[in-house]
Structure 1
Amino acid sequence: MRVLGYGMMGLRVGLFLALICIRISDIAAQDAAALQALTESWGNLPPSWNTGDPCGNSWEGITCRNSRIVGITLANMDLMGQLSGDLATLSELRILDLSYNQRLTGPLPPSIGQLTRLTNLILVGCRFSGRIPNSVGSLEQLVYLSLNENRFTGEVPASIGNLRNLYWLDLADNQLTGSIPVSSGDTPGLDLLVNTKHFHFGKNRLSGPIPRSLFNSSMTLIHVLFDNNELTGSIPSTLGLVRTLEAVRFDRNSLSGDLPTNIGNLSNVNELVLSNNALTGPIPDLSGMESLSLLDLSNNSFEATEVPRWIATLQSLTTLMMEETSLEGSIPDEFFNIPQLQIVRLRNNQINGTFGIGSSYSSQLQLIDLQNNSIGAVTVAPGYNFTLMLADNPFCQDNRVSLSYCNIQQNPGSSYTTLQSCPDRRCPSEQISSPICNCAYPFTGTFIFRAPSSFGNSNYFRALQVDILRRLQIFRLPVESVAIRDVDVDEFGYLNMHLAVFPAGIDYFNRTGVISLAFVFSNQTYKPPEEYGPYVFRADIYTHFEGRSRDNSRTGIIVGAAIGASILLLLLICAGGYAYFQKKRAKKAKQQANPFVSWDPQGTGGDVPQLKGARFFTLEELQKCTHNFSEANNIGSGGYGKVYKGILPDGQMIAIKRSQHGSMQGSREFKNEVELLSRVHHKNLVKLVGFCFDKGEQTLVYEFIPNGTLMESLSGKSGIRMDWIRRLMVTLGSARGLQYLHELADPPIIHRDIKSNNILLDERLTAKVADFGLSKLFGDTDQKGYVTTQVKGTMGYLDPEYFMTNQLTEKSDVFSFGVVMLEMVTARQPIQDGKYIVKEIKEAMDRTKDLYNLERVMDTMLVTNTSMLVGFEKFVDLALKCVQDEGMYRPTMGEVVKEIEHIVKLAGMNPNADSAAPSQTYDGVSGGNFSHPYSDNSLFSYSGTIPLTRPE
């Protein structure tokens, strides 16, 4: 009996342990399934992510605790794709760092607010776009929120004011608009962030006044950076209540009014930059700012005042910039004896009297710029070792004076000599010589210091090299040496320097090393010396990973024979439970990865995409509309599939673009395309009526456009006579549609396949841009203004710059549109009889003759009535601007629209008229017999490997 009792007890313990095992396996399976679903929308994943369990198989960038995923750190891995809502399933996630992945795009999913344990949300230098979701305010444990250097739009979410644990808030370098949110009633605001140290909002488009309530004495802010925005009004006196401040930037806004006098109480401020505003009134006494190193009040409208004597009391001052601030009088003798003084810029003032500097001045002095003042005499001790600039003063205007400092000079110091320790060392291709003469593939990037108190010199930067190396080695990273190169000051007043970090003991970093280095900078783990102030790091893509395989040895478990059977039984139970729940979770993850799996005809099922006016059609509905897709209703075909004409029960005519099964997209890509088409609404864009995702169908339903394509009208196939006025109006309409995509869609969109076959004409000959199958979100572009992607489009219309570099920009659409404009003139396809339209026009042109001597290549319909071609030369000039080889020389679509509107007015037409509708039929044919306006077929349709030649 006793043995039986012990046996029952053992069985209970075994079952209890089995349940625990199943539960642990279940939770772990949840995380694994969620991560698998999340990454289905990602490309270019690390090789270790191909097999096994994220925790058990040591996936790179994944940190686990008790079989739960608590960290995803994949900075600088060149990931591509979007961030899906599956992320919310990782309920134990603490750290998410996807920084420096410039091909991560799309919006931040609102479900991110469900990650309630998240402490670090770091997405620096990606290409995320859209609005920052209000749900971010639900992340109450958040300490670091870094969304800078993306393409976020809309207002700063007021809900961020709920993040009472927030230490670092960086939303700089986006496209944020609206006012600065502050609390009101039950609505939170930034003024509630009393524990936050960093407000970084520079390089956005924030507008309106700075609220008085934004600052209060309870705050512990050290950095307040609102530079390069569109703020108006005055600087509130409440700023002077935040006594912890160390760096303040409100430069390059439209601020006005007097400076608050209590700003001088901020004794801890090192950097105060208020330049390039419209500030007025007197310059207050700032002698109480005893820590001040950088003072920049340049380019304001202060009252005329003597050069302040209190400046000489600022013993920490290194840089003084007060250009064009209405200073007058002479400079006090003690001015240049400030011990740390390096740079003085006082040009464009009314400083007069005698400028004198003896043998006693700061040993750090590098530059004195007093150009364009009223200085009448100069006494300078010989042998001075700094740059002196005195051009455009009365003293230098005397022809007898021929001194170097009287010559007009550009401000020096904005670029510095590259630091090279081994200039003669030759390294293999793409490798770089390290400071200790070893060749390697370094981890590289750019430091951008946003409020440096000193612009330094080579000695400063060598000291910084030593500091960075020491800190990285303290962090136990595999680093041998670091080098700083190419230091300069940019147009925003930021100090930029290129950093190269060299690996130790080998000539490249593996993925773990790159992830670790990137995280040190993206997470602000590395803190530079105080004089450099706050920074952002912009990492370069690293491609030289070692790719070494690792063998994971497994240690066998030796168990006593007496308990072997029990352990075996327990393991079998666990294995069975794990397999069951893993299968269940995998099925669920697969369903979640399919966004249409739970849709119903009313669109009330789960995970319905955000649609604006697009309707869900069942397959049966579309079959009825088209008589079961009869060939009689087939109006075209292309690589995507066939296009059918249909009639809805309410009488609306529709065009149904039905994919063939061999060309079906993935469900997530199809969902994204439907979302894209459903939210663009403009009279010059073809309207998406709805879609069908039913019984294996992927079908788009458009409004029916009766007069076919522009190409058909120009070629005469449609029977519509395209006179000059109608061509102008069609050009204007299609340009406006494209301008909407570039400038008004949110986020903006690059069409990528503009051609006359994708411009349709309705019953009033209103132009409508169609076929968004190749479109890319403009939010996908990086800080350089392009997105790197496979070349797709139609030969003859392809931007040669995009063709050669794979770098797609909005100017690629402009090039294609320029080719369409030349089609308007010639009625020829871009490549016809082996001739390229752009080259033909350029060779035939003679600007000294009427119509530029283009009659030989013009459409004969236009040549027969040249007296009506008002604005023809301006039209051709604009087209040729659009087809410039380099995108930087092409106009924007907004500029194109304005120029065409001007030409239309010259022709005596109203550019805001609804259409250029035909009032009668032409050649006995009414405007209505078209073949395939929605198909994407073309003799020159292109998608794939770039050939070795390019268009002329």
Structure 2
Amino acid sequence: MSRSRIVSFVFVSVVWLYWFSQLNGAGAQITHPAEVTALGAIKKNLIDPNQNLSNWNRGDPCTSNWTGVLCFNKTMDDGYLHVAELQLLNMNLSGSLSPELGLFSYMKILDVMWNNISGSIPKEIGNITSLELLLLNGNQLTGPMPEEIGNLPNLDRIQIDQNQISGSIPKSFANLNMTQHFHMNNNSISGQIPPELSRLPSLVHLLLDNNNLSGYLPPELAEMPSLHILQLDNNHFNGSTIPSSYGNMSKLLKLSLRNCGLQGSIPDLSEIPNLAYIDLSSNQLNGSIPPNKLSENITAIDLSNNNLSGTIPVNFSYLPRLQRLSLANNSLSGSVPSPIWQNKIVNETEGLVVDLQNNLLSNISGSLNLPPNVTVSLLGNPICSNVNMIQFCISQSDVSNNQNSTNFTVVCPDQSCPPPYEYSPTSPVPCFCAVPLLVSYRLKSPGFWDFRPYIQQFEVYLSSGLHLNIYQLDVNSYAWEEGPRLQMFLKIFPVYSANGTHLFNRSEVLRIQSLFTGWRIPDNDVFGPYELISFTLLGPYEDEIPHSSTSGMSKGALAGIVLGAIAGGFMLSTIVSLLILRSHSKKHRAASKRRLLSKISMKIDGVRDFTYGEMVLATNNFNSSAQVGQGGYGKVYKGILADGTAVAIKRAQEGSLQGEKEFLTEIELLSRLHHRNLVSLIGYCDEEGEQMLVYEFMSNGTLRDYLSGKSKESLSFAMRLRIALGSAKGILYLHSEADPPIFHRDIKASNILLDSKFTAKVADFGLSRLAPVPDMEGSVPAHVSTVVKGTPGYLDPEYFLTHKLTDKSDVYSLGVVFLELLTGMHPISHGKNIVREVSAAYQSGMIFSVVDGRMGSYPSDCVEKFLTLARKCCQEETDARPSMAEVVRELENIWVMMPESDTKTTESLITKPGKVVTPPSSSSTTKNPYVSADVSGSDLVSGVIPTITPR
């Protein structure tokens, strides 16, 4: 069929379809008209920069798969379909919630989590009597909670946490007899906790931490028959006591009342049979610790920072699951019973931390031997005057949550699993290659302090809740957050099939997604409540899986369906022809794009078009001995061109879509970027089915190599500061001097390369994005809305949550690199996040304990200023971070402060390629006294090392 005939045929077919739809008239409208109106009002009130709701004006909501709109699969008594769920999770939406939400008379789930929606919660939500899940957390909602929400008889879960909600808790909430979950933490809720809440028969989790609640703790809360978690940390119950009735909460698993201004004594909690977690720290509690034996399920007890006196009770010695006991900063006296740790049997995945710092303890009763994986700190007690107790007198920074993030890797052929395919790390068949579902998931109130002993139990729990085989679930990484909360990055792989299936089918993806979004995974006593942060579909899933499932049909639409079927049959041959035409067109466009790329690149000054043969000769046929690196894009080889020039050749792995994109992006950007702190593009090769980029060769490799110890030489502080300054200048050029400006989006230590003179050069622009350009009125948008990409540990938290990429996103990533330069640590390692770890050390005045010992001596005031700058760069709030120009200016100021001997030594060292020697310690006095990077806790206490006072 010729192209002109196809076009004519399509035109006639479209006319036929239009005529049939007009003939059918109102019969095609099968969603209730009031709900169609409501959806229109909702869209009007929302700002949708990513155009996620662009299909909300096409056809009928329930039969046209409107994004996020899920309907019942059959008509109700009124003859219409109705909306069952509104799922708008993490879509970068802003604006406000429309009062028309109250028109959804059958809705069960309202989910707008993790957006930027502001304004108040419409009181009309109280009209949706069928509502079961009200999920509004992670937005910018303000104003009070509507009394009308108390009118929802079927509500199971209300989540408004991480907003700016104010006002008091409505007493009407005591009418929510079916509600099991009150998650209202991290807001500005004030006033008294209503004692009337004690009438709630089904409430399991009451999370009100991080608010402005005041008054007294209602004793009546003990009357709630089903309460598992009571979490009220960081409120203002000043002068209130902990009611003794709380010892009668028979179902309680976790009691967390940290930093609430509480006074009086600790109630007897020994009658709570399954209590696992107690945190009463940072209050003004006094008296002695109750001596009665606690539940054997206890994993964590934190009574630190109170006014407790008396002795440490022996009952702490018989807690088999105990992971952490903190009694620091009290007035406890007498002996420390060593059976606390001697009776504890730990293995390689378990540990015990006993923090007894800053009390009046004078000796240890029993054995002084510490079992493996047990840490005891008695620093600041009279006992530490005894030299025989030195093993117990370690610093506070050593009493940290040292856990391992579980990443299991397999050794498989590099080329056989191109992105987005991955090897399933726990598949029973080695090197099974498939596309996983990516899930960001968080435990909001876990009942333990150390995750390691529970990892396997968690995998069994979650995989069974999802009805999957345990090998399909990979806990790729995890990290503790403030709360404490435990965030995880999960990968879910399809089941291995002998017929070679490497993907989930459509129905299975929708099933797994609905289990998360509908909170259909049963709660677990150990792991507590969870929340879904994101559910990411890659590659083949991205286009194939719709946001909502197809709904059923009303009887009134039957005629329209019949007529549509007739028209559909008429269109069948047209569709087949179009698919053939589209296939040919797609191949033609791909070939044209490649030819166009070559033509454009040929005209770029200084960028060479290499042949495949030249690349083969340069690398000795890509010999493994020439390979110097590897990434998600492919392998990197050192090559020697015919003229003797050493180059780095980045060769895309075959079939990599990511490689295709990076290839085009890097040529486009690097061909017009010229700065001494950016890696230069020499040329490219685009033939024989190969795509290669050719760069200047950086003989000293990556910054990460030097910080991780792969290189035998170490970097002095002056060298690290010089590298930081060079990196910042390169990024400043991208932000302010490139035309148009560029956001790098993947700044990390492995993308900062070092030449023969240790000049830092920023590399790898495959993920970079052009910065916003002025609009018609001359104003420049503050951000680019884009899918989140980058490297975990370096990602700007605000960009991760909002999908808004700004110049400050690069500032955050560079701040993490600065912390790496200071400490030598990885951004995420063994369950620890570098930003959190350095902040904790800084706030405790022990920052020198995390400084990298490999860099030798350093001037303390310069290190302090460098640290302060790095922490500013890593602020969670975008506006709190400095601009890149301010970063460069501050680094230059620190460089000027450096002792002249350091800067001269550095300049002399960089003239000797491949050798970096740590400058010797100076005994002479300068305005910047050196500090040894290898210090002990006792040195820090005695004042030999100048400490940093938090500002």
Aligned to 2:741: none
**Alignment pair present for 1:27 and 2:16:** no
Change (3 A) 1:68 1:571: closer
Q: 2: distance between equivalents of 1:409 and 1:423?
A: 37
Which residue identity is paired with 1:319? Answer: A
| 1:442 Cα deviation from its structure 2 partner | 2.5
What is the 5 A alignment of 1:484-499? 484-499=475-490
Shift of 1:800: 4.4
- Alignment pair present for 1:452 and 2:446: yes
Describe the superposition over 1:566-623 as per-residue Cα deviations: whole angstroms up to 9, x where unpaired: xxxx9699859x99xxxxxxxxxxxxxxxxxxxxxxxxxxxxxxxxxxxxxxxxxxxx
Counting only pairs closer than 5 Å after superposition, residues 724-873 of structure 1 correspond to structure 2 as 784-786=797-799, 800-801=807-808
Pairing partner for 1:467 from 457, 461, 469: 461
Change (3 A) 1:251 1:572: closer
Q: Render the CA deviation track for 1:287-325: whole Å, top value 9, x for unaligned.
A: 23222111110010012x122202x24333221111112
Which residue of the partner structure matches residue 401 of structure 1? 388
Structure 1 distance, partners of 2:106, 2:533, is: 27
Distance in 2 between the 1:409 and 1:179 partners? 39
Hey, what does 1:500 align to over in structure 2? 491
Larger displacement relative to structure 2 (111-120 or 215-224): 215-224
Match of 2:101 among 74, 94, 112: 112
One-letter code aligned to 1:784? P
Which residue is equivalent to 1:422?
409
| Structure-2 separation of matches of 1:228 and 1:99 | 24
What pairs up with 1:54-453 in 2 under 5 angstroms? 63-65=70-72, 92-101=82-91, 103-182=92-171, 189-213=172-196, 215-217=197-199, 219-256=201-238, 257-303=240-286, 305-310=287-292, 312-358=293-339, 361-363=343-345, 366-378=352-364, 379-380=366-367, 382=369, 384-398=371-385, 400-401=387-388, 403-410=390-397, 412=399, 414-425=401-412, 426=414, 428-429=418-419, 431-434=421-424, 435-436=426-427, 437-453=431-447
> Secondary structure at the residue paired with 1:272?
strand
C-alpha distance in structure 2 between counterparts of 1:776 and 1:155, whole Å? 31
CA contact (8 A) 2:812 2:875 kept: no
Are 2:102 and 2:126, in contact at CA under 8 Å, matched by a contact in 1?
yes
Q: Does structure 2 retain, via aligned residues, the 8 Å contact 1:210–1:235? A: yes
Structure 1 residues 332, 573: CA separation in 2 closer, same or farther (over 3 Å shift)? closer
CA–CA distance in structure 2, aligned partners of residues 804 and 413 of structure 1: 28
CA distance in 2, matches of 1:21, 1:890: 54
- Per the alignment, do residues 387 and 771 of structure 1 end up closer, same or farther by CA in structure 2, a change over 3 Å counting? same
User: SS in structure 1 opposite 2:467?
Assistant: helix
- In structure 2, distance between residues paired with 1:162 and 1:387: 52
> Structure 2 length normalisation: TM-score?
0.52
The 3 A distance-change label for structure 1 pair 411 and 309 is: farther
Which one-letter code corresponds to 2:192 in the other structure?
P
* AA matched with 2:462: I
Q: CA deviation at 1:412?
A: 5.0
Instruction: Give the counterpart letter for 2:388 in structure 1.
Output: V
Structure 1 residue 279, shift from structure 2 partner: 0.3
* Code of the aligned partner of 2:208: F
Deviation of 1:121 (Å): 1.4
Superposed CA deviations along residues 505-525 of structure 1, whole A, max 9, x for unmatched, are 555557765554333223211
Give, in whole Å, the separation in 2 of the partners of 1:440 and 1:465. Answer: 20
Deviations 1:666-702 (A, max 9, x none): xxxxxxxxxxxxxxxxxxxxxxxxxxxxxxxxxxxxx
The letter for the 2-side match of 1:356 is P
**Bigger CA drift: 224-233 or 486-495?**
486-495
1-side partners of 2:562 and 2:385: how far apart? 96
Q: Is the 8 A contact 1:449 1:536 kept in 2?
A: yes
Query: C-alpha separation between the residues in 2 aligned to 1:315 and 1:114?
Result: 51
Aligned-residue offset at 1:110: 0.6
Q: Aligned-pair distance for 1:532?
A: 0.9
Closer/same/farther in 2, CA of residues 889 and 414 from structure 1, 3 Å limit: closer
For the 8 Å contact 1:61–1:512, the answer to whether it is kept is no
The amino acid that maps onto 1:461 is: I
- The answer (yes or no) to whether the contact 1:333–1:357 under 8 Å persists in 2 is no
Which amino acid is the alignment partner of residue 397 of structure 2? Q
Task: Measure, in 2, the Cα distance between the counterparts of 1:315 and 1:889.
Answer: 39
Residue matched to 1:521: 516
Q: Structure 2: which 5+ residue stretches go unaligned?
A: 1-22, 546-557, 568-770, 789-794, 815-867, 884-951
Aligned CA distance change for structure 1 residues 541 and 127 (closer, same or farther; 3 Å): farther
CA distance in 1, matches of 2:270, 2:486: 26
Q: CA contact under 8 A between 1:31 and 1:90: conserved in structure 2? A: no
Q: Is the 8 A contact 1:108 1:130 kept in 2?
A: yes
Q: Would the aligned equivalents of 1:801 and 1:885 in 2 still touch at CA under 8 Å? A: no
Counterpart AA for 1:472: L
The superposition leaves residues 198-247 of structure 1 with CA deviations (integer Å, 9 ceiling, x where unpaired) of 1110111112232333x234533111110111212221122122132111
Return 105-114 or 534-543, whichever deviates more: 534-543
Q: CA deviation at 1:332?
A: 2.6
Distance 2:159 2:167 in 1: 17
Q: Is the 8 A contact 1:450 1:494 kept in 2?
A: yes
CA-CA distance at 1:543 after TM superposition: 3.5
Contact 2:230–2:255 (CA under 8 A) maintained in structure 1? yes
Q: CA deviation at 1:155?
A: 1.2
User: Could you tell me how far 1:772 is from its partner in structure 2?
Assistant: 7.7
Partner of 2:851: none
Are the aligned partners of 1:479 and 1:503 in contact in 2 as well (CA < 8 Å)?
A: no
Distance 1:785 1:507 in 2: 34
Q: Partner of 1:537 in structure 2?
A: 532
Stretch of structure 1 that moved more, 516-525 or 884-893: 884-893
Cross-structure match for 2:744 = none
| CA distance in structure 2 between the partners assigned to 1:572 and 1:266 by the alignment | 60
Q: Percent identity?
A: 25
Q: 1:50 to 1:433 in 2, by over 3 A?
A: farther
Aligned residues: 563
For the residue of structure 1 that corresponds to 2:472, the secondary structure is strand
Q: Is the 8 Å Cα contact of residues 317 and 337 (structure 2) preserved in structure 1?
A: no
CA distance in 2, matches of 1:28, 1:754: 41
Please give the alpha-carbon distance, in whole angstroms, between the structure 1 residues aligned to 2:132 and 2:125.
12
Equivalent-residue separation in structure 2 for 1:500 and 1:413 (angstroms)? 28
Counterpart of 1:445 in structure 2: which amino acid?
V
Higher mean alpha-carbon deviation, 255-264 vs 407-416, is at 407-416
